[in-house]
Amino acid sequence: MSAVDYDTLIPNNVDLSSDKRLQRALEQWYPQFMDWWKTVGPEGFQDCEVYLRTAVSVERDGWARFGYVKMPEYRWGILLAPQEEGRKIAFGKHKGEPVWQEVPGEYRAMLRRLIVIQGDTEPASVEQQRFLGATAPSLYDMRNLFQVNVEEGRHLWAMVYLLQKYFGRDGREEAEALLERRSGDADKPRILGAFNEKTPDWLSFFMFTTFTDRDGKMQLESLANSGFDPLARTTRFMLTEEGHHMLVGRSGVSRIIRRSSAVMREQGLADPADIAGVRRHGVIDLPTIQKKINFHFSVTLDLFGAEISTNAANAFNAGIKGRYREPWIDDDHQLLNDSYQVVQVIDGVLRQVDVPAISAINARLLDDYISECANIVTSWNRIIADHGIDFELRLPHRGFNRRVGEFSEYAISPAGELMTHSDWARMSAQWLPSDADGDYVVSLMQPQYRAGQYARWIAPPKGGIDGKPGDFEYVRIAA
């Protein structure tokens, strides 16, 4: 494997200079990407020096370097995890055959579609988060936002590399279309639902990075064992960066809960349902946090596609997209005779039903995802309990508020009760954030641009970035 070449316009470890056609195609795409970044990327702060990490190697240790960078000068590179000699396809009907270095003709359309969908989410999230810099609760948080943004930009590069290298003219057209769709645009929206929602405040940002970035992790993990080796290697390296994004989300929500709980305790507010009482002190009440969990979790579940899916079965069978941690699963990795339990509505009742495992690939990934999310909520509840507050956050039932899959036709409460659509609509204001909840959260979003200062509604982090203290000047705001 070649070392990372940083002397070229596009840093890479794929020996780009030896493939002039590809190099030219990517160099032509570069100014379009920069145009996109400047038009719909982070609003403002483009001239500020931000203490960012840049991927400089694909080795496990020392893969990133930290330093002050102006975002437009960030080195968006093409980095693939090291090639494994003799790697074999780990699942599906080609199990045991050598992995593919070129796209197999029969799977071209399927691969292209998966790469385009993955690629589409990356710029979408940057667009969704573009206004948040102006209300950052601290320089530390602002820096984390921009770190997430530049790395999602790099993940777009990763998918565009695959499209341009392996899919000829179609790939070039798809690469351009990735810069033309826009999150939330009525005429040319992003492909998947959650990526057209707004991220109007930092609570939404932290919920998005907790729940939706974690779908990213699950999907990337499923592609990281792909029989198409360049996709496997690309997604493996993307996963190295993804961990920080989820940490930003999870710890961000933890810090909000810690602050709210501490204020409730200081002020002797024993009743978490006393929303007005808590809001009077300028922090976010726990019932609103619960509603935000209900929203972001349910919208993210839709990103897994239908629980029972022929597309997913075909992709598994083809050896293109596996299950979460596929090599560690103890079965034949072909699922010829296996069954899997899924929840379905049968005769008006929610039941566990055995279905052929190959048809339930999405359902299984969803289960793995839900169990990780449940652990996170447990950790949040520990903070509340430590403050002596009698309140528990919960993940809503998997059927709550769904638009895609088994439950999309049904009205199901967060507790998992089937209801009439009219009852559900009447109750939904108790379960999902209202406009007034959103307005309240937005009203708290006053920026804190002094090093070491944190907005009132969020506790400082336990530690800084790259061993730096919390009062480090993570973003040098231009005078």
Interaction site with ligand BYC (CB under 6 A): 114, 117-118, 121-122, 125, 152, 192-193, 212-213, 215-216, 219, 302-306, 309, 311-312, 321, 362, 404
Closest C-alpha among 403, 439, 168 to residue 284: 439
Q: Measured between alpha carbons, how far apart are the two ends of the chain, in Å? A: 44
SS3 category, 460: coil
Quote the CA–CA distance of 465 and 331 in Å, as a whole number: 41
Quote the CA–CA distance of 365 and 297 in Å, as a whole number: 14
Closest approach, Cβ 342 to ligand BYC, in A, equals 13
**Which one, 311 or 428, has the nearer CB to ligand BYC?**
311
Closest approach, Cβ 264 to ligand BYC, in A, equals 31
Quote the CA–CA distance of 471 and 479 in Å, as a whole number: 19
- Who contacts 42 (Cβ-Cβ below 8 Å, separation ≥6)? 71, 126, 129, 130, 133, 145, 146, 149
Quote the CA–CA distance of 53 and 45 in Å, as a whole number: 17
Quote the CA–CA distance of 111 and 114 in Å, as a whole number: 5
**Which one, 261 or 362, has the nearer CB to ligand BYC?**
362
DSSP 177-219: HHHH--TT-SSS--SSGGGGS---SHHHHHHIIIIIHHHHHHH
Closest approach, Cβ 325 to ligand BYC, in A, equals 16
**Which one, 74 or 391, has the nearer CB to ligand BYC?**
74
Cα–Cα distances in angstroms (integers) from residue 436 to residues 165, 277, 443, in the given order: 49, 16, 10
Closest approach, Cβ 212 to ligand BYC, in A, equals 5
Q: Which residues pair with 172 in a beta bridge?
A: none
Closest approach, Cβ 287 to ligand BYC, in A, equals 26
Closest approach, Cβ 279 to ligand BYC, in A, equals 30
Name the residue whose CB lies closest to ligand BYC: 305
Closest approach, Cβ 311 to ligand BYC, in A, equals 3
Closest approach, Cβ 152 to ligand BYC, in A, equals 5
CB 278 within 8 A of CB 253: no
Identify the H or E element spanning 345.
Answer: strand 339-346
Closest approach, Cβ 366 to ligand BYC, in A, equals 10
**Which one, 213 or 437, has the nearer CB to ligand BYC?**
213
* Tokens encoding 411: 């009205």
Closest approach, Cβ 371 to ligand BYC, in A, equals 18
Closest C-alpha among 54, 46, 78, 12 to residue 466: 54
Closest approach, Cβ 191 to ligand BYC, in A, equals 6
SS3 category, 458: coil
SS3 category, 88: strand
**Which one, 37 or 457, has the nearer CB to ligand BYC?**
37
Closest approach, Cβ 307 to ligand BYC, in A, equals 8
**Which one, 221 or 229, has the nearer CB to ligand BYC?**
221
**Which one, 4 or 160, has the nearer CB to ligand BYC?**
160
**Which one, 120 or 201, has the nearer CB to ligand BYC?**
120
SS3 category, 16: helix
Q: Which residues pair with 55 in a beta bridge?
A: 64
Beta strands in 200-301 (DSSP E): none
**Which one, 177 or 451, has the nearer CB to ligand BYC?**
177
Q: Exposed, middle or buried: residue 451 (CB in 10 Å: 0-12, 13-18, 19+)?
A: middle
**Which one, 90 or 312, has the nearer CB to ligand BYC?**
312
**Which one, 193 or 460, has the nearer CB to ligand BYC?**
193
Dihedral sign from CA coordinates of 101, 102, 106, 111: positive
**Which one, 80 or 114, has the nearer CB to ligand BYC?**
114
CB 143 within 8 A of CB 132: no
